[in-house]
Amino acid sequence: MQNQTKYLVIGNSTAAVGAVEGIRSFDKTHSISLVSREPYHTYSRPLISYLLAGKIEEDRLYYRPGDFYLKNNVETTLGVAVEKIDTTTRTAHLSDGQTLAFEKAVIATGGKPFIPKIEGVSSKGVFTFTSWNDASAVDNYIKTTGAQQAVVLGGGLIGVKSAEALRARNLEVTVVELAPRLLALALDAQGSAFAQEAMEEAGVKVELGTTLQRIVSKNGIATGVILGTGREVPCQIVIVAVGVIPETGLVADSGITVDRGIVVNEHCMTSVEGIYAAGDVAQGTNSLTGESRPIPIFPNAYRQGHVTGCNMAGEPETLDSSFAMNSVEFFGLPTISAGLSTAEGSEFKILEMSNPHKKSHKRVILRDGKVAGALFVGDVDRAGIFTGLIRSKIDVSSFQSSLLEQDFGLLSLPVEYRKQVVRGKGVLA
Partner 1 sequence: MKQIVAREEYCIGCRLCEINCIVHRSQSKNIITAFRHEREGLTPSVVVESSGQHNFAVQCRHCADAPCVEACITGAMTRDPETGAVICDTKRCVSCWSCIMVCPAGAVMRGASGKPASKCDQCAGESEPCCVAGCPNAALKWEEVND
- Asked if 251 is part of the footprint of partner 1 (rule: CB under 8 A), the reply reads no
- Asked if 412 is part of the footprint of partner 1 (rule: CB under 8 A), the reply reads yes
- Asked if 132 is part of the footprint of partner 1 (rule: CB under 8 A), the reply reads no
**Nearest distance in Å: CB 112, partner 1:** 20
Site residues for partner 1, 300-319, by CB under 8 A, read 302-303, 306
d(CA 395, CA 400): 9
Say if CB 6 and CB 102 are below 8 A apart.
yes
- Asked if 60 is part of the footprint of partner 1 (rule: CB under 8 A), the reply reads yes
Is the torsion defined by CA of 383, 48, 156, 190 positive or negative? positive
Among 82-90, 96-104, 209-217, 415-423, the segment contacting partner 1 (CB under 8 A): 415-423
Q: At what angle do helices 157-168 and 189-201 cross, to 10 degrees?
A: 20
For partner 1, which residue of 234, 243, 274, 384 counts as binding (CB under 8 A)?
384
**Nearest distance in Å: CB 328, partner 1:** 7
For partner 1, give the closer residue by CB, 235 or 333: 333
d(CA 18, CA 310): 10
- Asked if 128 is part of the footprint of partner 1 (rule: CB under 8 A), the reply reads no
For partner 1, give the closer residue by CB, 72 or 149: 72
- Asked if 24 is part of the footprint of partner 1 (rule: CB under 8 A), the reply reads no
- Asked if 46 is part of the footprint of partner 1 (rule: CB under 8 A), the reply reads yes
Q: What DSSP string describes 279-332?
A: GGGEEEE-TTT--EE----HHHHHHHHHHHHHHHTT----------EEEEEETT
Say if CB 249 and CB 230 are below 8 A apart.
no
- Asked if 66 is part of the footprint of partner 1 (rule: CB under 8 A), the reply reads no
**Nearest distance in Å: CB 20, partner 1:** 13
- Asked if 267 is part of the footprint of partner 1 (rule: CB under 8 A), the reply reads no
**Nearest distance in Å: CB 171, partner 1:** 21
For partner 1, which residue of 93, 103, 334, 395 counts as binding (CB under 8 A)?
334
d(CA 240, CA 154): 7
DSSP state of 59: G
- Asked if 357 is part of the footprint of partner 1 (rule: CB under 8 A), the reply reads no
For partner 1, which residue of 3, 28, 39, 55 counts as binding (CB under 8 A)?
55
d(CA 120, CA 214): 6
For partner 1, give the closer residue by CB, 116 or 332: 332
- Asked if 64 is part of the footprint of partner 1 (rule: CB under 8 A), the reply reads yes
**Nearest distance in Å: CB 269, partner 1:** 20
Residue 149, Cβ density class (10 Å: 0-12 exposed, 13-18 middle, ≥19 buried) = middle
Residue 290: Cβ within 10 Å count = 7
d(CA 94, CA 105): 14
- Asked if 327 is part of the footprint of partner 1 (rule: CB under 8 A), the reply reads yes
For partner 1, which residue of 153, 380, 396, 403 counts as binding (CB under 8 A)?
380
For partner 1, give the closer residue by CB, 209 or 409: 409
DSSP state of 269: B
- Asked if 286 is part of the footprint of partner 1 (rule: CB under 8 A), the reply reads no
- Asked if 249 is part of the footprint of partner 1 (rule: CB under 8 A), the reply reads no
- Asked if 63 is part of the footprint of partner 1 (rule: CB under 8 A), the reply reads yes
Instruction: Measure CA of the first residue to CA of the last residue in the chain; give whole Å.
Output: 46
Upper half-sphere CA count for residue 252 (Cβ side, 13 Å) = 7
**Nearest residue to 122 (alpha-carbon basis) of 10, 217, 256, 14:** 217
Distances 341 to 160, 187, 205, 323 between C-alpha atoms, Å: 18, 7, 26, 11
For partner 1, which residue of 39, 409, 414, 416 counts as binding (CB under 8 A)?
409
d(CA 78, CA 42): 10
For partner 1, which residue of 5, 12, 44, 308 counts as binding (CB under 8 A)?
44
- Asked if 78 is part of the footprint of partner 1 (rule: CB under 8 A), the reply reads no
* Polymer length of the chain: 429
Please give the residue ranges that form the binding site for partner 1 (CB under 8 A): 18, 44, 46-47, 50, 55-56, 60, 62-65, 298-299, 302-303, 306, 325-329, 332, 334, 336, 338, 380-385, 387-388, 391-392, 407, 409-412, 421-427
